[in-house]
Chain A
């Protein structure tokens, strides 16, 4: 088996993994669970970029997908879900008033 065929087989495997994890991430509803699934998707994308001989893209994808995106998502989930009774009431009243021309 030639080297080019071997690399194409590896790229096909990595593409199948990316498709599976991306579908799972899109079908997940809870944002905290979705953050974990997004981290796995970032790892699969890193493997795909490395097999496509783009190690710098894989490096930046690794930094963004493994560290920064889960941190931002989990910080946002914490901020949104903090139990604050009066503020939630005010938000609920303000929610219906989007009728500006």
Chain B
């Protein structure tokens, strides 16, 4: 077994289950922390897999994830936080 693949196995065994656990409990905003950590971990796992299998073309998947992960988090925060931000906005508009 490659050292890179060993690191991949360690990350998949010890790193990902807490992320899935954190993303499966609590409110939707609390689950975002698990999703964000899972995105970072999966980026590292994909890079280690590309190095361990000796295929440099697998790096593109990690690159796309590194671009799309923060964008997905922004989408989640925009739409999950919008509901709680609407209430002060409407009350301020009502006062004015």
A interface residues, Cβ below 8 angstroms from B:
1, 3, 5-7, 9-10, 13-14, 17, 20-21, 24, 28, 30, 32-33, 35-37, 39-40, 43-44, 46-47, 50-51, 53, 55, 58-59, 62-63, 66-67, 70-71, 74-75, 77-78
Contact = CB atoms under 8 A, between A and B. Distances in A.
Interface residues of B, number: 43
Contacts, number: 122
Contacts of B60: 55, 59
Contact of A67 (B9, B35, B75): B75
Interface of B: 1-2, 5, 8-9, 12-13, 16-17, 19-20, 23-24, 27-28, 31-32, 34-35, 38-39, 42, 45-46, 49, 53, 55, 57-58, 60-61, 64-65, 68-69, 71-72, 75-76, 79-80, 82-83
A71 B38 CA distance: 18
Given A62-B64, A77-B79, 13 more contacts: A6-B2, A6-B5, A6-B9, A9-B9, A14-B12, A33-B27, A40-B23, A40-B35, A58-B61, A59-B61, A63-B68, A70-B76, A74-B80
Contacts of A13: 9, 12-13
Nearest to A73: B79
Interface of B (DSSP majority class): helix
A21 B1 contact: no
A21 B1 CA distance: 27
Contacts of A44: 16, 20
